[in-house]
Amino acid sequence: MLVNAPIDWTQTIFMVIGGLGLFLYGIHLTGESLKLLAGTKLKRLIEKTTNTPLKGVFMGILVTVLLQTSSGTTALTISLVRAGLMTLPQAAGIIIGANIGTTVTSFLIGLNISAIALPMIGVGSMMAFFLSYKRWKRAGSALLGFGLIFFGLSTMSGALKVFTELPAFEQMFVRFEDAPLYGLLAGAVLTFMVQSSTATIGILQDLYETGAIPLISAIAIVLGSNVGTTITAFIAAIGGSVAAKRTAVIHIVFNLIGSLLFLLLIVPYAYFINILQDVFLSGEPRAMTLSLAHIFFNVFNTIVMFFFINQLVGLSKKIIPGEDTDDLTNVDTLQERLIKDSPPLALESAKKIILSMGDLVKNMFALSVSYSFKADKKALEKGRTLEELVDTLDQKTHDYLVKISQDDLNAQLAHLQASYVDAIRDLERIADHCQNLFDFFEHRHENRDILSEGGKRDLQDLYAVTNDIIAITLAAFKEEDRNKAEKVLDLEDGIDELVRAKRRQYIKRVNENGKATDDTLFVDILSNIERIGDHCENIALNILYDEYYHD
C-alpha cells in the first residue's frame, strides 16, 4: 500500500514565491523591452490612430499585447487624456480594448509551451548580454522575459499541485461551484495581491489542468480576476487628476458590469464553453478551456459595452464631478485649416498651447521644489509625467509653427512665428532642468543625503526667486507686457548674482567641514537654477525687441 509522502511546506512556499517572482518579473521585462523597441513611435501611433472609439479599441488590444499589462495601457492612456491629446470617449475605447489584449498571454499559457521556456531564457540572455546592436539586445530581453513568464508559471504550478491533495482545498472549490460569488471575490482578491490578472489566470489554468477545480468555479475566479485588475488602476488614480479618476472609473464599471452579468449566467456560459471545448479543442490541454472562457468573456463584454461608451463617460463624470485643473491643453485648437484660412488665428492657437505648456512647466518646477525637501514619490512620478507632456506639446506645436512659416507671412507675423518657436524651445529646456533637479534629489534621497541647514536655506532663497521669474515670464508672454519683460531681466541678473553668492557659501561650508558630502551635487543644482533663469530671459528678450510691438 502506497502512502503519500509528507508535504515539505518550506520548499513548497519557496517555490510558489520564487515562481511568482519570476513570472511577474518576466511580464515586466517583456513589456519594458517591447516598449523600448517601439520607442516614442508607440505613443505617436496612439495619438494618430485613436480619433474614434472603435480605433481606440483596436489600439488598446495592440498596446496591451506589447506592454503585457492592461494597467500599463491604462496609465499611458491617462497621460494622453491629461495632455489633451485624447478625449475621454477615445480613452474608453482603448481601455475596453485592453481587456481583450490581456487575454493573449493566457492563451499562450494555455498552449502549454513551458517546455521551451529554458531555451527561450538561454537564447534571450545571450542576445541581451552579448549582442552589441541595441534593437537585438532589447529583442533578446523580450525573449528572456517570455521565457521567465513560462518558467515561473511552471515552477508555481509544480508547487501548487501539492494543494490539490488536501481535502480542504477540494471542498473550497466545490463551494465556489455552489456559490460562484465567492469565487469571483477570491479571484479579485488574488489578482489584487499579485497585481496581475494574467498571473491569477495562469495559476488557475494549471490547477484546472489537474482536474482539481470544477469549470464553474474556475470561470467565477476568471471573472473575479477582471474585477481585481481594476483595483490597481483605482489606487493609481487616487490623488491624481480628475481625468485619471474618471478613466479608472470607466475601467472599473466596464469590468464590474460585465463580470456580474456573466456571473448571473455562469451555468449556461459554462455549458457553452464546454461545447466549444468539445467541438474546437478536442485533444487540446484542459487549460485552453479557461483561455477560451477568458477570451469570450472579454470579447463579448467589449462588443456590448462599446455601444455604451458615451454612457460610461457620462457616468464617470457623475461619479467624479468637477473640472480637471490638470487638463491644461487641447491640441485640437491647432487646426490645419487655420494655417491657410487665417495665419493670425493659427498663431493665436499656437500661443494658447504655448501658455498651457508654460503652466505645465510652472507646475513641474513647483513639484521639483517640493521633492527637493521631501522624498514624495507621487511628486516625482507626476513631475516625470509633466515632462513627457511638455515634450509632446513641444513637438506638436513646433511642427505646427513650421507649417505656418511655409505660408506667405508678412514681416510682423514672421517675427511672431519665430518668437513662438523660440518660446517653446526655452520652455522645453526649463522642463529639462526641472527634470535634472528631480534626478539630483532622487539620487540624494536614495543615498539618504540630508541637506545641511545652510544648503537648505540657500535653495529656499533661490527657489523663491526662480518661482517669481517663471510666473512673471509667463505673464509677460501672455500679455506681451514690456514692463514685465524688463522685470524678468532684472530678476535674471539677481539670480545670477545669487547663484554666485550661494556657490561661494557652499565652498565655504566645504572648507569648514573638510568634505562636500553634506551637499552632494549642490553645484549642479545651482547651475540648473541659473539656466532656468537664462531661458526665462530669452523669452523676455523676444518681447522687448519685438520691433512691431505697439503701445
**Residues 336, 192 within the same domain:** no
Binning pLDDT at 50, 70 and 90, where does residue 23 land?
confident
**Residues 313, 420 within the same domain:** no
Which among 259, 293, 319 is the end of a domain? Answer: 319
Binning pLDDT at 50, 70 and 90, where does residue 325 land?
very low
pLDDT at 1 over 50: no
Q: Can you tell me which residue has the cell 487549460? A: 287
Check: CB of residue 394 under 8 Å from CB of residue 424.
yes
Express each pLDDT in 234-243 by its tens digit: 665 665 567 6
Residue 262: Cβ within 10 Å count:
22
Sign of CA dihedral 547, 548, 549, 551: positive
- The 8 Å CB, 24+ separation contacts for 31-35 are 31/66, 31/67, 31/68, 31/69, 31/72, 31/145, 32/141, 33/138, 33/139, 33/141, 33/142, 33/145, 34/66, 34/67, 34/68, 34/138, 34/142, 35/66, 35/67, 35/72
Average pLDDT, whole number, for the chain? Answer: 79
> 212 in helix, strand or coil?
coil
Between the CA of residue 303 and those of 39, 118, 143, 306, what are the distances in Å?
30, 38, 32, 5
Nearest to 355 by CA among 535, 475, 483, 484: 475
**Residues 266, 351 within the same domain:** no
Pairwise pLDDT comparison (80 vs 377), residue with the higher score: 377
Between the CA of residue 315 and those of 230, 239, 247, 320, 406, what are the distances in Å?
17, 20, 11, 8, 45
Binning pLDDT at 50, 70 and 90, where does residue 445 land?
confident
Reduced 3-state DSSP string for 282-349:
CCCCCHHHHHHHHHHHHHHHHHHHHCCHHHHHHHHHHHCCCCCCCCCCCHHHCCHHHHHHCHHHHHHH
Which among 265, 295, 319 is the end of a domain? Answer: 319
pLDDT at 292 over 90: no
Reduced 3-state DSSP string for 369-399:
HHHHHCCCHHHHHHHHHHHHHHHHHHHHHHH
Q: Which amino acid is at 266?
A: I
Q: Any idea which of 140-144, 161-165, 179-183 has the lowest mean pLDDT?
A: 161-165
Task: Tell me the CA end-to-end span of the chain in Å, nearest whole number.
Answer: 104
pLDDT at 94 over 70: yes
Cell of 541: 528678450
Check: CB of residue 357 under 8 Å from CB of residue 401.
no
Domain membership flag for residue 85: yes
pLDDT at 120 over 50: yes
Q: Give the mean pLDDT of 185-201.
A: 73
**Confidence at residue 540, expressed as pLDDT on a 0 to 100 scale:** 92
Domain membership flag for residue 121: yes
**Confidence at residue 126, expressed as pLDDT on a 0 to 100 scale:** 92
Domain membership flag for residue 2: no
Nearest to 201 by CA among 148, 260, 147, 153: 153
Express each pLDDT in 361-408 by its tens digit: 999 999 999 998 888 887 887 888 788 788 878 888 888 888 888 777
Which distant-in-sequence residues (6+ apart) come within 8 Å of 254 by Cβ?
92, 95, 96, 99, 301, 305, 312
Domain membership flag for residue 326: no
**Residues 311, 366 within the same domain:** no
Q: Give the mean pLDDT of 498-503.
A: 89
Binning pLDDT at 50, 70 and 90, where does residue 216 land?
confident
**Residues 200, 253 within the same domain:** yes
Domain membership flag for residue 549: no
Pairwise pLDDT comparison (364 vs 512), residue with the higher score: 364
Check: CB of residue 237 under 8 Å from CB of residue 319.
no
Sign of CA dihedral 294, 300, 306, 312: negative
**Residues 247, 340 within the same domain:** no
Q: Which amino acid is at 176?
A: F
Which among 250, 285, 319 is the end of a domain? Answer: 319
Domain membership flag for residue 513: yes
Pairwise pLDDT comparison (124 vs 246), residue with the higher score: 124
**Confidence at residue 172, expressed as pLDDT on a 0 to 100 scale:** 67
Express each pLDDT in 418-430 by its tens digit: 899 999 999 999 9
Cell of 224: 473575479
**Residues 306, 335 within the same domain:** no
Which distant-in-sequence residues (6+ apart) come within 8 Å of 78 by Cβ?
91, 237, 240, 241, 243, 244, 247
> 194 in helix, strand or coil?
helix
- The residue ranges of DSSP E strands in 74-226, in sequence order, are none
**Confidence at residue 2, expressed as pLDDT on a 0 to 100 scale:** 42
Q: Give the mean pLDDT of 458-467.
A: 91
**Residues 175, 269 within the same domain:** yes
Check: CB of residue 283 under 8 Å from CB of residue 272.
no
**Residues 33, 75 within the same domain:** yes
Cell of 177: 461551484
**Confidence at residue 326, expressed as pLDDT on a 0 to 100 scale:** 46
Domain membership flag for residue 229: yes
**Residues 315, 335 within the same domain:** no
**Confidence at residue 43, expressed as pLDDT on a 0 to 100 scale:** 62
Structural domain count, the chain = 2
Express each pLDDT in 31-74 by its tens digit: 677 667 765 566 666 666 666 777 778 888 877 776 656 666 76
CATH number at 359 reads 1.20.58.220
Q: Any idea which of 42-51, 52-61, 491-500, 517-526 has the lowest mean pLDDT?
A: 42-51
Dihedral (Cα; 416, 421, 423, 424), 10-degree rounding: 140
pLDDT at 161 over 80: no
pTM score above 0.75: no
**Residues 179, 258 within the same domain:** yes
Exposed/middle/buried for residue 200 (C-beta within 10 Å: 0-12, 13-18, 19+): buried
Range of the domain at 467: 331-544
**Confidence at residue 175, expressed as pLDDT on a 0 to 100 scale:** 72
Q: Any idea which of 26-30, 107-111, 133-137, 149-153 has the lowest mean pLDDT?
A: 107-111
CA distance 367 to 441: 12
Give me the DSSP letters along 410-465: -HHHHHHHHHHHHHHHHHHHHHHHHHHHHHHHHHHHHTT-PPPHHHHHHHHHHHHH
**Residues 72, 185 within the same domain:** yes
Domain membership flag for residue 386: yes
